[in-house]
Amino acid sequence: MAALNFLTKTADELTSIFVKHLLITNRAFNYYVDWSNVDGFEDYLVEIHALDVLIGCKDDNEFKERFESLLKKLPQTILLFPFLFGLAKAERRNLNRGRDRLTIIQDKIDGDDNLTYEFPCDITALTDKQIESYYDFFIRMGLKDLYQHELEKSTLDYIIGVLVGLDSNGRKNRGGKAFELACQPIFEKVVNQHGLMLLTQKQFVCLRDYGFEITDDIANRKADFIVFKPFTNKAINFEVNFYNGTGSKPEEIIDSYINRQNDLNNVGIEFSLVTDGKGCWTSATNQLNKGFRHMKYLQNFYMLKNGMLDEILTTSPSIRAIACKLSDNCLITPWMLSLPIHPTF
């Protein structure tokens, strides 16, 4: 595909390109499952496979014998119980570190109101009384029935399925940053090609660690993406937002990001807004045109992935130096020096 040379186009041309290529969704493949959350069980594969001995054991007496034998030989098997009934990752971590106990109320008239169970990762042995308590837990939590009547082949497969299901609950949290997740691979690819550094969801104060003079005015502001070259004072902030139209006010959006650009420019940091959403921007051409006239680098997903990010980092006179690799000779040709940022109107 031929280079589109976005930075040489007029505001009218950019507005036309922008509106022609709008997304109807902000959900990429990485929105649906964060596979990095499907973890935590790898250190207990021996215990996981040992649990398979309980699968399909219909005889209650034999089931109990296998359970007791298993916990005597491999007491850390109890650490897998929270996985089996889908306890959240943070809660599992607190149990394993001994910071918390699992407390469950019971309705037995002649029993305690609360039953408490521990799942510490440093467990090395269990008494017969403790094993009896965990067996009662296994029954009442429904895990005995799971192994006798539901599971057919593999505890490992079941645990992975549980973790994927738990992660699906995180989609409501990922919804707000789904567009960031969709854009992040593009940033990572281009940044890596140019030997630069990328910070995601960090405050500007982090740049002080790389030789930047960051004023207190912006130090605590958070950025979606910051692309920079250490110890050069060359950096650009990319803010990424998707609007579906519900409650979105294009004029306020554009004005707020013009102000952000000006604030950052005052301290020597460049700015780009990456925004999209058919429901918001299709009928907002006037505001988009205003944005292209007053912001140096306004783009949508199509423009980002079709070369505008690369153009910004390599040909813009104000920040092109950040795209020179530390280990390479940075060759700036005369035509690059004369290449304009898209006109200001």
State the pLDDT at residue 9. Answer: 95
Using 50 as the pLDDT threshold, list the residues of the chain that sit under it.
Answer: 325-345
State the pLDDT at residue 294. Answer: 97
User: pLDDT tens digits, residue range 229-246?
Assistant: 888 888 999 999 999 876
State the pLDDT at residue 28. Answer: 84
- CATH of 6-30+174-338, picked from 3.40.50.20, 1.10.150.20, 3.40.1350.10, 3.30.70.270, is 3.40.1350.10
Provide the pairing of β-strand 298-299 with 270-276.
parallel
CA distance 54 to 67: 7
Structure tokens at 344: 């200001």
Q: Where are the domains of the chain?
A: 6-30+174-338, 37-168
Q: Flag whether the pTM goes above 0.75.
A: no
State the pLDDT at residue 329. Answer: 37
* 277 CB-contact burial (10 Å; exposed 0-12 / middle 13-18 / buried 19+): buried
Q: Which of 215, 216, 185, 182 is CA-nearest to residue 198?
A: 185
Q: Three-state DSSP class for 115?
A: strand
Cα atoms found within 13 Å of the Cα of residue 233, Cβ hemisphere only: 7
Cβ proximity of 273 and 297 under 8 Å: yes
User: pLDDT tens digits, residue range 33-88?
Assistant: 889 889 999 999 999 999 999 999 999 999 999 999 999 999 999 999 999 999 99
